[in-house]
Structure 1
Amino acid sequence: MYFYAARQPILDKEKNLFAYELLFRDSIDNVFPDIDGDEATSKMVEASKFNLGISEFTGNKPAFINFTLETIEQGYPEMLTTDEVVVEILETVKPGKKLLSLCKDLVEKGYTLALDDYIHQPVWGHFYPYIKIIKVDWKDTSIEQIKEIKTAIVKHPHIQLLAEKVETYEEYNQAIELGFELFQGFFFAKPEMVKTKSLSPSQIAMAELLYETSKPELDLTSITSVFERDVSLSYKLLRYANSPIFKRRSEISTIKQALVILGSGELKRFLGLMFATNVNPDKPSELINAAMTRAKFCELVAQDIKAPVDTSIAFLTGLLSLIDAILDESLESILEKLPLAQEIKDALTTKKGVLAALITLVKLIEHANWDKTATVMEKLGLSKEKVVKDYNEAIAWADEQSQLTQD
């Protein structure tokens, strides 16, 4: 069984990763809500418990998973540990004595409970002692309704408000002012502000290296000269090449020696790590993680497309698809300054062609927009099962890289 789910990050006020919500679908053909909530939840728990494993899909962060009254009653939350799941009670569940008893029992066993798409009703007051998080749909909830919720929970300071479907930094800042502590949406994947600025010498060097490694044949002389112009980057390359994970018998002491021994694939991985940590260290880690996921996904999927696509080019296109949000500058302005292959620039700006279609595909998966996903896959001649497998593998790879940059 394949794990048909997208994960959406939940961030705190400092834009640190707090958790993921797993958005489940029975399959790419069987688009939710064609199956009911009970079946969706049961399949999610089954897949996560017996196939992929939630921790592998969420990088050991908690997973928000929707539960109906029936699935809670059947004990599905307890098939997962208290550390790996936040029990999210669907908005369709009506408050009543049975639900209240189940909530008390789950909290006593150490589970964290959240109310999904909350619309205030006084009866929910009985549940507040057991609820840790209240999710509010930012698009469908007025400021007056939010203030009503805040007034209702004022005597329960343990409850955190989570703003869902936050799409811009303006909305994020407004939510903070209203007392929200957690945020879900893609505001972090858009430029915080559009401004013109010069790229640093280190950023220019990184761009040149990305360009050089996107070529079918590596030009070691050109790549070596770029590294030699940036002392910091050279030091990091030598440190990486001499890392214990490679179990070298002798020390690598020159740039050229490091490049030859690492090879194209490992060099590209190293540059991805440097991109993740150096382009803009002030940005949310989840934004960099998303760029890394897109890069690996595009690389993997490119291998299965009938039309000839260079996997290195596909990797870089995915990696740079969020560069405007990372640098807080318009995409057009950034691409004018970067010495990148023209096909990468075309894919990111015109949104036409196979590479652009790969970016569209991964964006649709991120949003769990499965019906449109199926259309794009059909046009590209891709297997549904392989695409899902590639997405899961890309997430695991990106999480691994993130851990390496933090160690």
Structure 2
Amino acid sequence: MQGSAQDKTTTDQYTIAIQPIVDARLQHVADELLYRGDCSAISAAVFDDVQATARACAVAIYEIGLDKLCGQRKLFINASGEWLLNPDLGGLPQSQIVIEILEDIEVNDALLHALRKLKYQGYTLALDDFELTDANRALLALADIVKFDISTGLPTALIQRLYKEGYTLLAERVETYEEFEKCKALGFSLFQGYFYQRPQVQTTNTQRHSTSRANQMQLLAHLYSDRVRLPALSTFIARDPYLLNAVLKRANSAEKAAQHPVHKLLDCIHIIGLKELRTLVSIIMLAGNNPASKINLISGLTRAFACEALAEQRGLDEEEGFITGLFSHMPVIIGIDLETMLKELPLSQPIHQALIQRQGPLGELLAHIEATERGSPPADVPAELILQAAAEARTLMDSHIS
């Protein structure tokens, strides 16, 4: 359970913790995803359940990556009623995600319909801290896993009944080996608690600088238009460093099982698919990532637009030119060193060589733009190129950055 303490902070230093879930042989088979307001927090401080879940999912899936975080193990996420009723959030990887329905959820027809839809899509559903009441009785028909907080007592008759009916039972807050053995004897097959391991805080090097909600809202509008145009989607994504980072990582994750690293943004969008892309954008919006420093973002976009224009002039791939320019400034924009960034992002070899060694056509292009920024443009670079690129960057900021 995530917790309910009030915390009005708007810091972007939030992270996640995961707590192992083990089977009766003490094999580590799953993890629960927990939100943490910062790396030093030992418990959740949640003032908005939807935002907390969004932030936790953004870090786990789009920053760290599920393959790195938990391998092939299942990942339990907490879901409030508001989260479950939002159709934009139904695109999480169903083969690996277990949706935990919080114990204080309001059960109504709309919620039951949403849960049936999730079941049809292939999600595993778990009931968190379950205590049977007339209000939540209908949830049992949809649940696969029932969790009991054993620190509040063990309703033996209910546990035995559910065991006989074939539910998977999970005991949480198991503090001692004796409690583990007692729960195992009652029919529990999954266990979680300090007897095995405390929640482990996970860190990420990514600073969460993104363009504004206005830009992301426009992207969502394109995602839901009657005639979705992928080039338009890629344009919006390419101009948002945090989204671009998330899309590249997700498309190249182990779960997506690409045969070869994917570098083209349009190819990444095809691999992720519109359904999950809608979820990705919605999660990042709900996570409330703070906008980048305006001066840093303008500088990065100016260089990106300049590289894009020069790439077109030289007959090179314009998108690769834009990404080369933007990522050359990315360490400043997202607060991560170049070496770490290149380890985490599956950039193409030409872009990689351009960023590290200024080699190849893209490397030469980038070096020429940098020389132009210093006031020493090569002969074929128009004198007004940087000014035009800067104007385009400022227009984008004024139009889309709140």
Tell me if TM exceeds 0.5. no
Bin of the TM-score, shorter chain as denominator length: 0.3 to 0.5
Structure with the higher helix share, 1 or 2? 1
- For normalisation by structure 1, the TM-score amounts to 0.43
| TM-score under structure 2 length normalisation | 0.44
